[in-house]
Amino acid sequence: MNTKKQLGMLYGLGAVLSIILIWLDQFTKHLAVEGLRGQQPFVLLEGVFELRYLENQGAAFGVLQGKRMFFLVITFLMILLLVYTYGRIPVRRKFYALHGICIALFAGAIGNCIDRIENNYVIDFFYFSLIHFPIFNVADIYVTCAMALFVILFLFYYKEDELDLLAARIFPWKKTEARES
Q: What is the pLDDT of residues 4-18, one digit of tens each?
A: 888 788 889 999 999
Q: Is 124 an annotated catalytic residue?
A: yes
Q: Looking at the domain assignment, is residue 120 inside a domain?
A: yes
Residue 179 above 70 pLDDT? Answer: no
25, 140, 161, 164: which one is catalytic?
140
Question: How many domains does the chain divide into?
Answer: 1
Q: Looking at the domain assignment, is residue 177 inside a domain?
A: no
List pLDDT tens digits, range 105-133.
999 999 999 999 999 999 999 999 999 89
Residue 180 above 60 pLDDT? Answer: no
Q: Is 115 an annotated catalytic residue?
A: no
Q: Looking at the domain assignment, is residue 145 inside a domain?
A: yes
Domain that holds residue 113: 12-170
Q: Looking at the domain assignment, is residue 27 inside a domain?
A: yes
Three state DSSP letters for the chain: CCHHHHHHHHHHHHHHHHHHHHHHHHHHHHHHHHHHCCCCCEEEECCCEEEEEEEECCCHHHCCCCCHHHHHHHHHHHHHHHHHHHHHCCCCHHHHHHHHHHHHHHHHHHHHHHHHHHHCCEEEEEEECCCCCCCECHHHHHHHHHHHHHHHHHHHHCCHHHHHHHHHHHCCCCCCCCCCC
Q: Looking at the domain assignment, is residue 104 inside a domain?
A: yes
115, 124, 161, 164: which one is catalytic?
124
Model pTM above 0.85: yes
Q: Looking at the domain assignment, is residue 44 inside a domain?
A: yes
Q: Over pLDDT 90: what percentage of the chain?
A: 74
Report pLDDT for 8.
85
Q: Looking at the domain assignment, is residue 79 inside a domain?
A: yes
